[in-house]
Amino acid sequence: MLSQEQTEALFKVLDESTTTLQAALSTSYLDAFVETGDNLLNGQVQVEDGRPDQETVAKLTDLYQQADWQSFDSETVRRAVQLAMLKAIRIDEIQANHQLTPDTIAYIMGYLVTRLEKGKSHLTLLDLTVGTGNLLTAVISQLRGVVTGKIDAYGVDNDDSMLAIAQTSSDLQRVPVELVHQDALERLLVPASDLIVADLPIGYYPVDDNAVNFHTAAKSGHTYVHHLLLEQAMNQLTPGGFGVFLVPSQLFQSEQAPNLLKWLPNNAYLQGLLNLPSELFANVNAQKAILILQKPGAGAKQVEQVMLGEFPSFKDQSAFQKFVAEIVQWEEQNLLTDRT
């Protein structure tokens, strides 16, 4: 069976079993998905207080036997989980900041970091806003091909329902990830990291008493949470470590940008800012970019030529591949000269 066929077969099982449990337990699609994931991992349908009933248990048992998911590779499983999450967004009407990072964007972010971490004998990786874990596990999948030793992966989120999805997803993929339920702007309960990736939430951080501990905090009122998270990430990185973030394209043009620009020069090297194709977003204000920051130390230096640009349309494969080739050349000439 081809990988795409395996993905579709597993999604069919995940979706039908989740929908069945959703009706039987009168719960959300997301909660039912976590339940069906637990059933698959435990090899049996869990029954509490007579729910689900025996007829439903028999139906679920039959469904689970239709996909030999344990023989599928982690990417096949991740893609099937992603399809289920895309349905959950529609069914449960999930807010924008909780929606998963699209595969195309996750792959680009992963491709950028594989070249930076190639040949490492050990890597500590953190997603500061892990959500459902799609970005983190997609990046791990790509890094496994270039990191020669162990990857210690961590994910932080303040939403326990999102972490439950991330745990189910990583367990089904057989990708070890340590997930921590906490405010990512409090003192982090994870080790210093060589690499941080994050699809940063957009909005205001409500805890002003904590925000004042950051240089990027607004002088008055609430602070943009993505500004604070960028500062937190730089504090958490090991010297010379990279942070690769999905941020608003207008990051440096907002009314709070001066604080960010004042903090940046002494705390991080801005190595690249790549706008994603405008066609992916409803309007120019919603457009996102990939930001590459590097923590000073361990021989790191500010590149002379910051990588700035906008990806061409993903529909124009020739132009897209040419742009990616230019990024690769830039990485080799500017970021990898002292690392080879």
CB 125 within 8 A of CB 194: yes
Q: Any idea what the CATH number is for the domain that residue 120 is in?
A: 3.40.50.150
132-187: pLDDT as tens digits? 999 999 999 999 999 999 999 999 999 999 999 999 999 999 999 999 999 999 99
Spatial CB neighbours of 295, under 8 Å, sequence gap ≥ 6: 234, 237, 238, 239, 240, 241, 242, 243, 268, 269
**Structural domain of 215:** 96-334
Q: What is the model's pLDDT at position 236?
A: 98
In a domain, 340, yes or no: no
Residues 189-202: tens digit of each pLDDT: 999 999 999 999 99
Q: What percent of the chain has pLDDT over 90?
A: 86
Total structural domains within the chain: 2
Average pLDDT over all residues of the chain: 93
Judge whether residue 98 has pLDDT over 80. no
Show Cβ contacts of residue 100 under 8 Å, excluding neighbours closer than 6 positions: 82, 85, 86, 89, 131, 132, 134, 135
Q: What is the pLDDT of residue 1?
A: 60
Q: Does residue 22 fall inside a structural domain?
A: yes
- Which stretch of 86-100, 109-123, 273-287 has the lowest confidence by average pLDDT? 86-100
pLDDT at 301 over 60: yes
Residue 80's pLDDT band (boundaries 50, 70, 90)? very high
Beta strands in the chain (DSSP E): 122-127, 150-157, 178-181, 193-199, 204-205, 223-224, 237-248, 269-275, 288-294, 307-310
Take residue 84 and report the two structure tokens written for it. 């289920």
Regarding whether 83 and 121 lie in a shared domain, the answer is no
Same domain for 258 and 112: yes
pTM, to two decimals: 0.94
